[in-house]
Amino acid sequence: MTETLEAVSVEVAEREKQTIFQTYERLPIGEVMSASGSYLYTQDGKRYLDAIAGLGVNALGHSDPALVLAVQQQAERYLHLSNLYLQGPQVRLAEQLTRMTGWDKVFFTNSGTEAVEGAFKLARKYFSDPNKVGLVGLSNGFHGRTYGPLSVMDKPKYREGFGPFVPNTAVADVLDVASLRASVSEATAAVIVEVIQGEGGIHEMTEEFVIALHELREQYGFLIIADEIQSGVGRTGTFFAYEQFGLAPDIVVCAKAIGGGLPLGAILTSNTIASVFTPGSHGTTFGGNALACAAGSIVLDRLAADLQENILRLAPLFFSKLGELRERYPGMIHSVRGKGFMIGIEMHGSAKQIAQGLLTEHHIIVNVTGNEVIRLLPPLVWSEREINEFLYGFECMLKTLRN
Ligand SMILES: Cc1ncc(COP(=O)(O)O)c(C=O)c1O
């Protein structure tokens, strides 16, 4: 039986290689047949604890019953109408979002990178001045794979072979106030930042840098865009992570968790800034799709009902247990970083082996970023049970590799 299943999963892997662009390294666990709550189930009958939640997307875990029901009910009403029509699910989600965040207006997109592109366009149109079009990002940041985001990023692995990039763009050294100062001017329209760099390895912004960013905005009159695509929608313990860093952005972009598993992103801003996008000046065919918005409403309902509280209660416990492990294995764990359920465990050289061992021996899925950082983006519904399951597997790997 097992042999047959293995043969089938090898066959799927082969067919994938023959037909799909080879841009992703798939986890070597065969085909996933179903997923429920915090677990994935593969073709060979194994169960895996998912500690990265579809790369930060499955806020309610996999196939949450209320979310599935909302999508089914919406599918029976209509799947897609286009933005030619008024659609209740969009309006309901926008109301929830504005109420929960304090922003005035929402523009829905399909993905994170599309939200960032939209925010850049919005900033340039807001000034509508050919001498104020500069876009600035920070080193080690990640904002997406299309040309706007790539143009304000510096990592060769994302950019190599794709130039030339968008003119009037720059990258300042992250956390380096002098470099930021040298990178902005009267010609800057917007600076985009992640208060916690996600793909970059869970690195947090300093208070000094936030203060400098605010002062430079005051001096040059640019807009600050907070990229909350990975850190937003409750993951860090507040709706947006910037709230914990004292940052006051002008525009916020989010995606991933907002759709709970359906493709959805959003740009949030004030009435004044939003008003520069007039009918026809910006748009999208699928953005704000009714199914995605119906799912998003369930995510926000749950966040308000119990999930935000769940994270605030469990994250300190999780961090304190990880801190204890760091004390017990100082030669292996360099540091534990992040906020809420956005966690980076920086290792001294063993991150990849640990991730591999967690997968094959303990059936726990984590992700390694920035080479040495084990990144955890668990579903926001994790309880102490899943945290302990992870900690047990992680400590077993620490013991194995220390010897
Ligand atoms: C901070 C941040 N910005 C932007 C993006 C791009 O989002 P998407 O892959 O939906 O285009 C990501 C994706 O990982 C991200 O983490």
pLDDT tens digits for range 213-256 = 999 999 999 999 999 999 999 999 999 999 999 999 999 999 99
Say if ligand 1 is within 6 A of residue 144 CB.
yes
Rounded Cα–Cα distance for residues 221 and 100 (Å): 27
Question: Residue 98 is which amino acid?
Answer: T
Q: What is the pLDDT of residues 273-296, one digit of tens each?
A: 999 999 999 999 999 999 999 999
**Ligand 1 centroid distance, CA of 113 (Å):** 6
**Ligand 1 centroid distance, CA of 57 (Å):** 11
CA distance from start to end of the chain: 36
Exposed, middle or buried by CB within 10 Å (0-12, 13-18, 19+), for 21? exposed
Which of 199, 284, 369 best tests ligand 1's pocket when mutated (most atoms within 8 Å of CB)? 199
> How many C-beta atoms surround the C-beta of residue 155 within 10 A?
16
Q: Which two tokens stand for residue 136?
A: 């600035």
Rounded Cα–Cα distance for residues 360 and 381 (Å): 24
> With 80 as the cut, is the pLDDT of residue 268 above it?
yes
Atom of ligand 1 at shortest distance to CA of 265?
Answer: 10
Its pTM stands at: 0.97
Q: What stretch(es) of the chain map to CATH 3.40.640.10?
A: 65-303
Say if ligand 1 is within 6 A of residue 259 CB.
no
pLDDT score recorded for residue 7? 74
Rounded Cα–Cα distance for residues 382 and 306 (Å): 12
Q: What is the pLDDT of residues 178-221, one digit of tens each?
A: 999 999 999 999 999 999 999 999 999 999 999 999 999 999 99
Instruction: Single out the residue of 173, 188, 220 nearest to residue 120, CA to CA.
Output: 188
Q: What is the pLDDT of residues 321-347, one digit of tens each?
A: 999 999 999 999 999 999 999 999 999
Over range 6-33, report the average pLDDT: 91
Q: Does domain 2-63+308-402 have CATH number 2.30.110.10?
A: no
Annotation: CATH topology of 65-303: Aspartate Aminotransferase; domain 2 (3.40.640)
Say if ligand 1 is within 6 A of residue 64 CB.
no
Say if ligand 1 is within 6 A of residue 194 CB.
yes
pLDDT score recorded for residue 1? 45
Rounded Cα–Cα distance for residues 126 and 233 (Å): 26
> With 70 as the cut, is the pLDDT of residue 5 above it?
no
Contact 105, 274 (CB under 8 A): yes
**Ligand 1 centroid distance, CA of 55 (Å):** 9
Over range 5-10, report the average pLDDT: 72
Say if ligand 1 is within 6 A of residue 199 CB.
yes
Report the nearest-CA residue for atom 13 of ligand 1: 144
Q: What is the pLDDT of residues 105-134, one digit of tens each?
A: 999 999 999 999 999 999 999 999 999 999
> With 50 as the cut, is the pLDDT of residue 36 above it?
yes
> With 70 as the cut, is the pLDDT of residue 82 above it?
yes
> With 80 as the cut, is the pLDDT of residue 403 above it?
no
Instruction: Single out the residue of 321, 306, 225 nearest to residue 268, CA to CA.
Output: 225
Pairing of strands 47-50, 364-365: parallel
Question: Residue 224 is which amino acid?
Answer: I
**Ligand 1 centroid distance, CA of 232 (Å):** 11
Report the nearest-CA residue for atom 10 of ligand 1: 112
Q: What is the pLDDT of residues 341-350, one digit of tens each?
A: 999 999 999 9
Say if ligand 1 is within 6 A of residue 201 CB.
no
Say if ligand 1 is within 6 A of residue 230 CB.
yes
Q: What stretch(es) of the chain map to CATH 3.90.1150.10?
A: 2-63+308-402
pLDDT score recorded for residue 2? 52
Report the nearest-CA residue for atom 7 of ligand 1: 112
Rounded Cα–Cα distance for residues 68 and 289 (Å): 15
Rounded Cα–Cα distance for residues 355 and 175 (Å): 29
* CA-to-CA dists, residue 136 to 166, 187, 222, 232, angstroms: 11, 11, 10, 21
Over range 367-376, report the average pLDDT: 94
> How many C-beta atoms surround the C-beta of residue 317 within 10 A?
12
